[in-house]
């Protein structure tokens, strides 16, 4: 009798319980109503009285052991991953990467541009988004009441008929930062001026009332059109790769003479089109004079480019509005 109980105790002590299925099997075999522990107690009645003390004690120990093993295994299982259950997961794999955001495609493009100009030795300058008429137009050689002022679809903040009160506008381009820079520096000047600009245009896939430009200005003695071309071409090759297809066209801006526009070929060899990405030119002497720079001593070039345009070309985006909608499905493509 005692040997049978010892064998049962041994079986309980050595039973492997590593999964919840094994735990349940253990419970059924030993602890349930029809389990081996209960059956063992049923035999106690047939044990001779003088042995009952010893047998009963061993039976109780056996029952306690079974309960203890059950409780212990249950707790362990509750606090650990069930390896067999998650057999389809490879537990040696690294944990899934945490979900993190990414820089907006315009920010990424702007950073690429800044890095290139940094390599070319340009510093970065910024100016206000609410500008006065003088910096946004007059100093840039826009004649008074020139239609160009309307062509730029200006958002006026303050418009006054009193000549002593300066009109205030949301800047229509980053070119006024050139003026502010020249007012406060002596050449040589080599700077880029990134920022937001505003135009009162109807919203469409091609235009938006807000966009970004990067202005560039280089002023020194003996700066020539050749320097302008060389710098422009270096920039676009660093931006788009050395096999980029481009063309320079004559253009017109009140603040440069001569003026050049740069187009980039977008699409395949056969099926593509020219897209203008920037306007540029040699700084008009009138602009130097308005900013306090000696136009007899210095020459310089300037250009202004659209960040959206450059980003659109780089990634093949076909709707400018997507930049401002904050649609995660769009933004996630630039991780």
The first and second tokens of residue 183, run together, are 């007012």
Window contacting ligand DAH (CB under 6 A); options: 112-120, 202-210, 218-226, 302-310: 302-310
Using the minimum distance from each CB to ligand DAH, give the nearer residue, 12 or 197. Answer: 197
Beta carbon of residue 116, minimum distance to ligand DAH (angstroms, whole number): 17
Q: What is the dihedral of CA 197, 198, 199, 204, to 10 degrees?
A: 90
**What helix, strand, coil percent values describe the chain, rounded to 5?**
45, 20, 35
Residue 198 within binding range of ligand DAH, rule CB under 6 A = no
CA dist 136 and 174 (Å) reads 8
299 binds ligand DAH per the rule CB under 6 A: no
138 binding ligand DAH? (CB under 6 A): no
Q: How far apart are CA 84 and CA 95, in angstroms?
A: 18
Binding mask of the shown chain, residues 151 to 190, with x at each position contacting ligand DAH by CB under 6 A? ----------------------x-x---------------
281 contacts ligand DAH (rule: CB under 6 A) = yes
**253 binds ligand DAH per the rule CB under 6 A:** yes
Nearer to ligand DAH among residue 77 and residue 233 (C-beta): 233
Tell me: does residue 254 bind ligand DAH (CB under 6 A).
Answer: no
If binding is defined by CB under 6 A, does position 279 make contact with ligand DAH? yes
CA distance 261 to 224: 16
Q: What is the DSSP letter of 96?
A: P
Question: Does 302 contact ligand DAH by CB under 6 A?
Answer: yes
Number of C-alpha atoms within 13 angstroms, CB side, residue 154? 24
DSSP 251: E
Which residues in the 204-223 window bind ligand DAH by CB under 6 A? Answer: 215
- Does position 136 interact with ligand DAH (CB under 6 A)? The reply is no
CB atoms inside a 10 Å sphere around CB 118: 12
Closest CA to 30 of 18, 14, 45: 14
By CB under 6 A, the count of residues binding ligand DAH is: 11
Neighbours of 174 (CB within 10 A): 25
Work out which of 9, 122, 304, 313 binds ligand DAH, going by CB under 6 A. 304
Contact set with ligand DAH (CB under 6 A)? 173, 175, 215, 253, 256, 279-281, 302-304
């Amino acid at each position: 009798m005692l040997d049978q109980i010892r064998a049962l105790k041994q079986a309980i002590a050595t039973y492997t319980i590593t999964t919840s299925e094994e735990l349940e099997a253990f419970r059924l075999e030993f602890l349930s109503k029809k389990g081996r522990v209960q059956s063992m107690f049923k035999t106690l009645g047939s044990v001779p009285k003088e042995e009952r003390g010893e047998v009963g004690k061993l039976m109780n120990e056996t029952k306690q052991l079974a309960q203890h093993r059950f409780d212990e295994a249950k707790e362990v299982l509750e606090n650990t991953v069930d390896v067999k259950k998650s057999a389809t997961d490879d537990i040696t794999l690294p944990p899934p990467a945490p979900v993190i955001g990414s820089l907006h495609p315009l920010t990424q493009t702007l950073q690429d541009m800044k890095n290139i100009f940094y390599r070319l030795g340009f510093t970065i300058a910024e100016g206000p988004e609410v500008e006065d008429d003088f910096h946004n137009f007059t100093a840039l050689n826009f004649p008074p009441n020139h239609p160009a002022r309307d062509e730029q679809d200006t958002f006026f903040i303050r418009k006054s008929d009193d000549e002593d009160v300066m009109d205030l506008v949301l800047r229509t381009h980053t070119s006024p930062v050139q003026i502010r820079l020249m007012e406060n520096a002596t050449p040589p000047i080599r700077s880029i001026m990134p920022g937001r600009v505003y135009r009162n245009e109807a919203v469409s896939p091609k235009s938006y009332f807000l966009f970004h430009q990067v202005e560039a200005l280089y002023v020194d003695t003996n700066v020539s059109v050749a320097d302008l071309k060389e710098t422009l071409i270096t920039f676009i090759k660093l931006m788009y790769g050395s096999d980029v297809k481009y063309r320079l066209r004559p253009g017109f801006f009140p603040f440069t003479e001569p003026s050049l526009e740069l187009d980039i070929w977008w699409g395949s060899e056969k099926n593509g089109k020219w897209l203008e990405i920037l306007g540029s030119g040699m700084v008009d002497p009138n602009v130097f004079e308005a900013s306090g720079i000696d136009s007899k001593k210095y020459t310089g070039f300037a250009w202004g480019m659209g960040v959206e345009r450059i980003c659109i070309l780089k990634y093949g985006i076909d709707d400018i509005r997507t930049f401002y909608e904050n649609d995660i499905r769009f933004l996630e493509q630039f991780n």
